[in-house]
Amino acid sequence: MKRTELFFWVTVSCGLIVMVFILLPLIEMVTAPSISMLVMAIRDKDVVRSIWLSVYTAGLAALISFVVGTPLAYVLARRDFRGKRLVEGIIDLPIVIPHPVVGIAILGVVGKNHWIGRGLAELGVRVMGSVTGIVTVLIFVGLPFYVHAAKEGFENISPRLERVSRSLGASMFSTFFRITFPLAWRSMVVGIIMCAARAISEFGAVVVVAYHPMIAPVLIYERFEGYGLMYSQPVAVWLVMVCLSLFFVLRYLTLPNKKKT
């Protein structure tokens, strides 16, 4: 009996330590700036612009991940093929690669020393120091999160549902849009949220590819470097609040239906 009790207390205390470890710095940061500091920060055009740019690029990255990642996630969920493990490993690569390395790697391809970079330049597409560059980087780091979530969603749908649909006369496309998608869209939304969350928090890779235009994390870093903690905290609070409210809204939109399935 005593042993079980000890074990119970170990789990509870470790859990509490983890909670405090995560929450304490966040609460401290959110409560540190005064209201007037927060108001001043949001009146600053640079702050608003950078937060909007962050939200907008992360959202765009998530949307593009959704478009190109969905078919891939579907194939990975439904088919067994030689080299599947390898493909899955490649998709996970961006998660394990250090962030500045991601930035440098992307610059290596889109820079002037690579034919793709030269081709893009000729087409008038600028990657370095542009929104295009930011979105490219964010897709790179966010895509694995979308693919994982969507794949799991597809795996939870019995292939027999699709088989019955086809036996009733539906083509694979009709089956996907009438059966698979309506049953998997919640997982896809979760994937989009995960992808956007990962993208909005990216700093290291973005700073290499595009210091300007400034996304919020870069602005926060710049304020911290130039003026210190006091001046970076209000911007950070606004960024966190915008992100959290966006994610809560999206989660809320998907939750009520979850009870039905």
Write out the residues near other proteins by the rule CB under 8 A.
80, 158, 160-161, 163-172, 174, 178-179, 182-183, 260-261
Least distance from other proteins to the Cβ atom of residue 49, Å? 42
Q: Is 253 exposed, middle or buried (0-12, 13-18, 19+ CB in 10 A)?
A: exposed
Least separation in angstroms between CB 20 and other proteins: 41
Closest distance to other proteins from the beta carbon of 143 (Å): 28
CB of 167 to other proteins, least distance (A): 5
Of 95 and 172, nearer to other proteins (C-beta) is 172
Whole-number minimum distance, CB 227 to other proteins, in Å? 54
User: In this complex, which beta carbon is closest to other proteins, that of residue 226 or of residue 256?
Assistant: 256
Q: Which is nearer to other proteins, 124 or 169 (CB)?
A: 169
Q: Is the separation of the CB atoms in 204 and 100 below 8 Å?
A: yes
Select 11 or 174, whichever has its Cβ closest to other proteins. Answer: 174
Question: Least Å distance between CB 69 and other proteins?
Answer: 23
CB closer to other proteins, 2 vs 160: 160
Q: Which is nearer to other proteins, 36 or 261 (CB)?
A: 261
Smallest gap from Cβ 177 to other proteins, in A, equals: 11
Got the DSSP string for the chain?
-HHHHHHHHHHHHHHHHHHHHHHHHHHHHHHSS-HHHHHHHHH-HHHHHHHHHHHHHHHHHHHHHHHHHHHHHHHHHH---TTHHHHHHHHHHHHHS-HHHHHHHHHHHHSTTSHHHHHHHHTT---TTSHHHHHHHHHHHHHHHHHHHHHHHHHTS-HHHHHHHHHTT--HHHHIIIIIHHHHHHHHHHHHHHHHHHHHT--HHHHHH-SSSPPHHHHHHHHHHHH-HHHHHHHHHHHHHHHHHHHHHHHHHHHHHHTT-
Smaller CB distance to other proteins: residue 15 or 159? 159
Q: Using CA atoms, how far apart are residues 119 and 124, in angstroms rounded to an integer?
A: 9
